[in-house]
Structure 1
Amino acid sequence: MKFGVIIETKEPEKAWNAFRFAVASLGKGHEVMVFLMGEAVECQGLTHNKFDVDVQMLKFAAEGGTILACGTCLKSRQMDGTELCPISTMADCIQMVEWADRVITF
Structure 2
Amino acid sequence: MKIGIILETKEHEKAWNAIRFGVTALKLKHEVKLFLMGEAVEIESIVDETYDVMDQLNQFSEANGELLACGTCLISRKLDDTTSCPISTMVDCVELVTWADKTVTF
**TM-score, normalised via structure 1 length:** 0.98
| 1:39-91 deviation line (CA, Å, top 9, x unaligned) | 00001142202001011011101110000000000000000110000000000
1:30 lines up with 2:30 in the alignment: yes
Distance 1:33 1:43 in 2: 16
In structure 2, the residue matched to 1:40 is 40
CA RMSD of aligned residues (A): 0.6
Specify the SS of the correspondent of 2:5. strand
Specify the SS of the correspondent of 1:47. coil
1:99 lines up with 2:96 in the alignment: no
In structure 2, the residue matched to 1:77 is 77
The one-letter code matched in structure 2 to 1:41 is V
What's the % identity of the aligned pairs? 56
1:9 lines up with 2:12 in the alignment: no
Unpaired segments ≥5 residues, structure 1: none
Distance 2:83 2:34 in 1: 14
Moved over 2 A (4+): none
Worse-superposed segment, 13-22 or 44-53: 44-53
Distance 2:47 2:85 in 1: 16
In structure 2, the residue matched to 1:57 is 57
Equivalenced residue count is: 106
Specify the SS of the correspondent of 1:83. coil
Distance 2:72 2:63 in 1: 27
Distance 2:46 2:81 in 1: 15
Q: Is the 8 A contact 1:16 1:52 kept in 2?
A: yes
